[in-house]
Structure 1
């Protein structure tokens, strides 16, 4: 039996290209925003992607809405390329879908999340240890 949340995630991914770690890294090099939505405790346990913006899930829409008064300076308009990162790529799919509903039509998420990024051997860091 498929759960309701599984159906929700599947719908959020319909017709959306989800880049893998290498492609996401290249996109960031071109100016895409990598946005890590994991809670602080999870980032401390798993590590972080250097240069990713940390915007926890509970304030994501407010910080990235280009028309909102609580947006970050990087939230420049609807053409902004955003790649949302969570631990394994499930919560990020839902978050990216929410951003698309705000008008950020290029919002997507990292296929496999931080776990896939680290498994690909891409740079990570722990706040107390620097780059790995």
Structure 2
């Protein structure tokens, strides 16, 4: 029953209608919640998206489960539009699929992540130098 991470990722993405950065930006202007799950060190190195809600990956499900005592005020219900952002769009796909498992049926992610967002010329702050990732490791996972 063992599966590779590539198989798990492909399965997660089959369940999502992923957004390109421009689509994600437009949806955030319309009220969707953009959630940056990158660790603090990555945000410091790469920069941030103004207005994005920072929720590191290790607590994401507890913060968005409407039934959780640890939920955020933004976690108003299962119909909330949550758009997850990571560095390159790998971890965010897994995270968005996990939110869907909790019943947040409108959760999705940004294809290409923060790097694609910045490359599209969308608003960012504090953009430092981007570290080139080890080709054998996706997003420092």
TM-score, normalised with respect to structure 2: 0.86
Match of 1:16 in 2: 16
What is the rounded CA distance, in whole Å, between the counterparts of 1:57 and 1:67 in structure 2?
18
Tell whether 2:10 aligns with 1:5. no
Deviations 1:24-43 (A, max 9, x none): 00100111000000000000
1:51-62 paired onto structure 2 within 5 Å? 51-62=51-62
Match of 1:103 in 2: 103
Q: Post-superposition shift, 1:16?
A: 1.8
What is the rounded CA distance, in whole Å, between the counterparts of 2:83 and 2:25 in structure 1?
10
Tell whether 2:23 aligns with 1:40. no
1:82-93 paired onto structure 2 within 5 Å? 82-93=82-93
Tell whether 2:104 aligns with 1:112. no
Q: Post-superposition shift, 1:127?
A: 8.2
Query: Any runs of at least 4 consecutive aligned residues in structure 1 with deviations exceeding 4 A, and if so which?
Result: none
What is the rounded CA distance, in whole Å, between the counterparts of 2:15 and 2:55 in structure 1?
25
Structure 2 SS opposite 1:99: helix
Match of 2:27 in 1: 27
Q: Post-superposition shift, 1:15?
A: 3.9
Match of 2:65 in 1: 65
Structure 2 SS opposite 1:125: coil
Instruction: Report the number of matched residues.
Output: 126
